[in-house]
Structure 1
């Protein structure tokens, strides 16, 4: 009798293990939604769509990118913070919505509302004007901003673009009047349309306009082969690093197995030349990171912005 009970217990344990393994192997068994909290055509949107297209081939299910704008990224980011942590609703994460907004405003979510999954690209910030702008150099721009009101596009008073632009302006000795749009792409449309004088922007948003000879880059955070001859902020004695990044986070509480599967799919995608070429074509630098060391760096950067926010509020 005991022997039969033992055999039954063993059989039950094996069955549970198989069922558990099968359940885990099923992820993903339906489409995955990735919310981009910014407008279409910007760096966050473009970099996420390239990632989604590549990893869906590895995962075997559609990875659908959805733009959910509003509140300087707060609407879309909050939506995902409150989503079920099952790996089927993800958020495009970046400097602005994850590290800046939680420190410089009071959104209904925090950095700790999410589990970091992967970072796939980084992008240098730049000051951009229309091709027919009277500002032919950053020196011209500084002089113009000191002699009259110069407008500059960004994507919200508490956004990473405005925070970084303020630091740059303070060090260079000028001030601008901000005109806030839905994202970097929106600001660039206003620049080339002649509605504003300039914009702080990233290569995926301003690159197409520069290539089409509609815009000119005056200065940027680091040199890029795609934009030869453009000086850097450091060339003007401006200290600091000014750039954005793009990645994917999941709601806090998502199983580690889900994070591992998404990371593995991303690692395979990042080995494909067509994916690397796609990022290069939009001016994004591939910067694939994940795991404890990356999360440690994220936490350290978060603290830097927390200190800056405390200084500004004094």
Structure 2
């Protein structure tokens, strides 16, 4: 009897240890993943992230929920994720603005090293866009107009990538604009087509629907795109440099390599899906899947370039 009782207790103990170990080693992910987009709904960051999230949900077998947390030119939502647990269940939509530009041009509670880059899934070229009935038929006329009077231009924060790039472009072309900042590129485009501002710097996911609906016109863009035939590039006007944004996801620093590998492998699979590729093409985003050490090295180089630019500006 004692032997039987001892055996049962041993089995129970072993089972308890097994269950505890199983719980501790539960495969990621085993619950919903939140992806914070620090910009408003309908913009390039929001749309590109939602396409990725929808596809990842099917690939991972758990809900991947996109949450817009706006404010402070992307700082509010990005700061929220910087403070989150590094367990892989709270991610941030990362891009040129909130990760590489803003931390260098304004005081933020985070910087590039606060996060672990996971994947990049798309890139988007910057454009200068006006309403259909704008008096500026091309970029030369726009420049001439901005030199002769005050022209308003929508962007998404004084220290955002849009404003920084737009200022570099304006400086090279010899004009100035009055910036009107919104929560995101989509909101700026609403103001453009509504006649509230003269122009906007924007990305295809935000301005594309308005151009296709004949409500707006792109005067100039960073690189030629089949979706917008006939639109000249900045280089065509002698403007030097590359002006574009990108979209991906980062995790809070310290996230396990297992989580990074799982998200990267899943992204690699969804980026082969013809439906996903078509969805990105439909909104004017260019698929640009990158991950790993080489990509992170490139990010750090770009971060350093903006850091140097911020130092130069502050000395003026």
| Structure 2 portions without partners, runs of 5+ | 1-9
Secondary structure at 2:73 match in 1: coil
Partner of 1:47: 48
Aligned partner of 2:255 in structure 1 is 254
Contact 1:125 1:244 in 2 (8 A): yes
Q: CA deviation at 1:110?
A: 1.0
Partner of 2:6: none
Per-residue CA deviation, residues 269-300 of structure 1 (Å, 9 max, x unaligned), is: 00000000000000000000000000000001
The alignment partner of 1:271 has SS state of coil
Please name the residue that 2:214 is paired with.
Answer: 213
Task: Give 1:254 deviation, angstroms.
Answer: 0.5
RMSD: 1.6
Secondary structure in 1 aligned to 2:143? Answer: helix
Q: Is 2:171 the counterpart of 1:170?
A: yes
Match of 2:34 in 1: 33
Write out per-residue CA displacement over residues 43-98 of structure 1, whole angstroms, 9 at most, x where no aligned residue: 00000000000011111000000000000000000000000000000000000000
Say whether the 8 Å CA contact 1:24–1:257 is kept in structure 2: no
> Partner residue of 1:286?
287
Q: Using the TM superposition, give the Cα deviation of residue 26 of structure 1 relative to its aligned residue in structure 2, in angstroms.
A: 2.1
How many equivalent residue pairs?
Answer: 302
Per-residue deviation at 1:25?
Answer: 4.8
SS of equivalent residue, structure 1 residue 174:
coil
TM-score normalised per structure 2: 0.93
Matches of 2:90 and 2:25, distance apart in 1: 17
Instruction: Mark the CA change 1:277 to 1:24 in structure 2 (over 3 Å): closer, same or farther.
Output: farther
Decide whether aligned partners of structure 1 residues 22 and 289 sit closer, same or farther in structure 2, where only a CA change above 3 A counts.
Answer: farther
Tell me how far apart the structure 1 counterparts of residues 144 and 22 of structure 2 sit (CA, whole Å).
65
Q: Give the 5 Å matches for 1:48-197.
A: 48-197=49-198
Q: Tell me by how many angstroms 1:19 deviates.
A: 6.9
Tell me the SS of whatever aligns to 1:118.
strand
Q: Is the 8 A contact 1:36 1:44 kept in 2?
A: yes
> Which residue in 2 is equivalent to 1:235?
236
Structure 1 residue 22: Cα displacement: 6.9
What SS does the corresponding residue of 1:73 show, helix, strand or coil? helix
| Cα pair 1:34 1:89 within 8 Å, conserved | yes
SS in 2 for 1:232: coil
Asked if structure 2 preserves the Cα contact closer than 8 Å seen for 1:36 and 1:68, the reply is yes
**1:269·1:275 contact (CA, 8 Å) conserved in 2?**
yes
Once residues 132 and 26 of structure 2 are traced to their aligned partners in structure 1, the CA distance between those partners, rounded to angstroms, is 53
Runs of 4+ more than 4 Å apart: 18-25
Counterpart residue number, 2:277:
276
In structure 1, what is the Cα distance between the partners aligned to 2:236 and 2:214?
25
Q: What is the TM-score with the length of structure 1 in the denominator?
A: 0.94
> Matched residues in 1 for 2:225 and 2:23: separation?
47
Q: Once the 2 structures are TM-superposed, how far is the Cα of residue 24 of structure 1 from its aligned partner?
A: 4.2
